[in-house]
Structure 1
Amino acid sequence: MNEGSIDQRKIKKGLKYSLLVSVIALGLLFSLTINEETLMKIKRVNSVYLLLAIVINFLMWVVGGLRIKLISNALGEKISLKFAIKNFLVGAFISNITPFASGGGPIQVLLLHRKGLSLGKSSTVIIVQFVMRLLFFSILSPLFFFLFSDLIDPGMIPEEIFDLLIIFSLSISAIIIYFIWKPDKVKVLTERLRNLKFLQGLMKSKKANQLIDRLYQEMEDFHESLWQLTKYKKSSLLLAAFFTIIFWVLFFIIAPVILLGLGVKPYFFRSFIVQTIFYLIIPYMPTPGASGAAEFGFATLFSSFVPSSLVGLLAIVWRFLTFYLVIIFGGVILFRMIAKSVLKRTG
């Protein structure tokens, strides 16, 4: 994959679908919750808090970029904070328009590689921050779920299904972390897959073997870089973990600040707990950018302590700051990169 071969049609298709589903979901939420109180709150909204929410959002982007820069520097690679922030935004943009947020990581690796980092180091930067995200939610989510279950109300979602979603998400996270930490197990799993009759034809093809060999090499390069980090750069890893915590704290503050702007109680702690559970589950939603599931899931969880007349309005403002602004800024940066790449080839 390279900038010249990025299928812009697929990007635009994913973008259209993601935006369409999101707009429909938000429209339905707003139409179902709007009343006189909603209109009154809109008229009396405190713009200072909304401006603060925007500032927090931008600061969160900077922290996201700092984390990428820090891990890159720890691997002996120097990148600017400006590029790191661009890398973060482009990755977030692609994540928001691909199912299971699957496209964000690969394009971040691509951009880092084109900046001069080896594929192994590029992968390490992105995988390390990915693992830290998994650890953050895998540790806090069950802790909050058991200690503060009285503050978590799944709303319209049946409790049995909600509990299954949490168990499923934690299980997937644990499996991913295990294979990242023990890459040799990937080889064991691959060899077992080779022996399955219905996969033997596919696994023996030249293309499949080339992909498998490349996967092995990338995993070995990644593990070597990760080993160097854990042995010689523990302080950098701790700082990256610290920035991961700061990133999500900033992210989770946005919704309560919006509530302050709407003139209601912010519920900072409860909001933090609910969003931690929410963002453990949401990456495994199959729609691009989790559109639809994100809007309704957010509204459902917040409806237990936010006035029903404001849930739709809250979801709209929150989604604009955390989703649409990323789409705008990340999309502009990516398409400018593609345009510059095209100009270089044709020039």
Structure 2
Amino acid sequence: MTDPSESDYSKQTSWRRLAVFSVIFIAMTAAGLYAVYDQFAERSLTFDPRLIAPTTLLMVGLLLLVYFLSDGLRLYFTLRALGHRLPLKVMFRLVFINLFFSNVTPMATGGGFAQIWYLHRHGVPMGRATAATTIRTVLAVVFIFTLTPIFLLTLRALKDHTITGSIGVALAIFIFLYLAFFAVLLFRTHWLIAPLTQILVTLHRFHLISDARHRRWQFKARREMLRFSDSFGDYMKGQPVYVCLSILFTALFLLSLFSFPALLMYCLGYTIDYMVSLGLLVVTTFVMYFSPTPGASGISEGIFGSFFRDILSGNHLVLVTVSWRLLTIYLGMIIGLIVLQRELIKDRRKLE
């Protein structure tokens, strides 16, 4: 049984860590926006009232609705393919909790753990929850990693860009390592049991975990890894309609995510090539996958500004960059923080 003081200390440490990451997120975001303003926007920034015109707000609102709904439904149908059914309201709370955690932790690691914790809290076994969130991530990765090389090779806007030159080899290595990791995770899960066991043995050897906890964690780790391995097979054997819907809503989610800059530019009166805007966002998102900063803060703004500086005028570049991040990240994070607080308050009341 967990000691109350230990539990309290763990919670305090977790919240302190989140607070530190949040500060880093804000600082890096500010630095990234300043870099766009200074390096790519010619130190020009003018607010354009067309961004808050009723027609703009209506179109942006509809795209946001598609974005959030498809994000929730892609995980919902992945779970259905695995034989689990959760209320839709639970799934949509998870959308925002994931947006908060994945953007205040480096390389989105916290988002995955938060989703697993939340699903397990609502009755989904740990191995199944891990499989569902991993499969959902893999589906998105397959789309992005397949499209990125195509756009890198075909987009004129990227022809002489640094990303296709000096760091092209590094990107190719990252693609290989990322896909190799997920291939092992999904098809050779048992290969990970030995290193995981060794990590727990090392923690025990240095007296970082007790004997009882070491035995318990060893048992749970092996059990959940085997469950996870079985779960992926179950997903592939799941009802075809749910598997297809999980793939369909993943594609719709990504399409809506990549469409925000094009919509914003259209509302500002630009004549846009949708495929160019789409391609630039695919590559931007690809780079964000490897950002070590919380939520790719700073790096995402810099990459976006670098890619769109030849499309947008200086006075609109920072404005569109902020609007893009506000709609796709900041808004969801704020809602996620509110939802998380309400969930924690509910838990506290249940314990009283």
TM-score (norm 1): 0.86
- Looking at structure 1, the residues matched to 259 and 100 of structure 2 have their Cα atoms a distance apart, in angstroms, of 21
| Alignment match, 1:163 | 168
Question: Structure 1 residue 25: deviation in Å?
Answer: 2.3
| Alignment match, 1:49 | 56
Question: Is the CA contact 1:18–1:287 (under 8 Å) kept in the aligned structure 2?
Answer: yes
| Alignment match, 1:339 | 345
Deviates more, 1:46-55 or 1:63-72: 46-55
Question: Structure 1 residue 44: deviation in Å?
Answer: 4.7
Question: Structure 1 residue 161: deviation in Å?
Answer: 3.4
- Looking at structure 1, the residues matched to 124 and 202 of structure 2 have their Cα atoms a distance apart, in angstroms, of 36
Find 1:324's aligned residue among 309, 330, 341. 330
Gap regions ≥5 residues in structure 1:
none
Question: Is the CA contact 1:96–1:289 (under 8 Å) kept in the aligned structure 2?
Answer: yes
- Looking at structure 2, the residues matched to 202 and 77 of structure 1 have their Cα atoms a distance apart, in angstroms, of 34
Paired residues in the alignment total 336
Q: Are 2:193 and 1:175 aligned?
A: no
| Alignment match, 2:298 | 292
Question: Structure 1 residue 109: deviation in Å?
Answer: 0.6
Deviates more, 1:12-21 or 1:42-51: 42-51
Amino acid paired to 2:144: F
| Alignment match, 2:270 | 264
Question: Structure 1 residue 15: deviation in Å?
Answer: 1.6
Amino acid paired to 1:177: F
| Alignment match, 2:89 | 82
| Alignment match, 1:225 | 231
Question: Is the CA contact 1:165–1:281 (under 8 Å) kept in the aligned structure 2?
Answer: no
Indicate how the Cα distance of structure 1 residues 326 and 164 shifts in structure 2: closer, same or farther if over 3 A, else same: farther
Amino acid paired to 1:129: R
% same residue: 21
Question: Is the CA contact 1:50–1:257 (under 8 Å) kept in the aligned structure 2?
Answer: no
Gap regions ≥5 residues in structure 2:
none
- Looking at structure 1, the residues matched to 84 and 202 of structure 2 have their Cα atoms a distance apart, in angstroms, of 41
Q: Are 2:66 and 1:59 aligned?
A: yes
| Alignment match, 2:19 | 12
Deviates more, 1:21-30 or 1:93-102: 21-30
Indicate how the Cα distance of structure 1 residues 314 and 189 shifts in structure 2: closer, same or farther if over 3 A, else same: same
| Alignment match, 2:75 | 68
| Alignment match, 2:133 | 126
- Looking at structure 2, the residues matched to 171 and 273 of structure 1 have their Cα atoms a distance apart, in angstroms, of 21
* RMSD, aligned α-carbons: 2.8
Deviates more, 1:47-56 or 1:96-105: 47-56
Amino acid paired to 1:233: Q
- Looking at structure 1, the residues matched to 271 and 29 of structure 2 have their Cα atoms a distance apart, in angstroms, of 26
Q: Are 2:137 and 1:139 aligned?
A: no
Indicate how the Cα distance of structure 1 residues 295 and 154 shifts in structure 2: closer, same or farther if over 3 A, else same: farther
Question: Structure 1 residue 283: deviation in Å?
Answer: 1.6
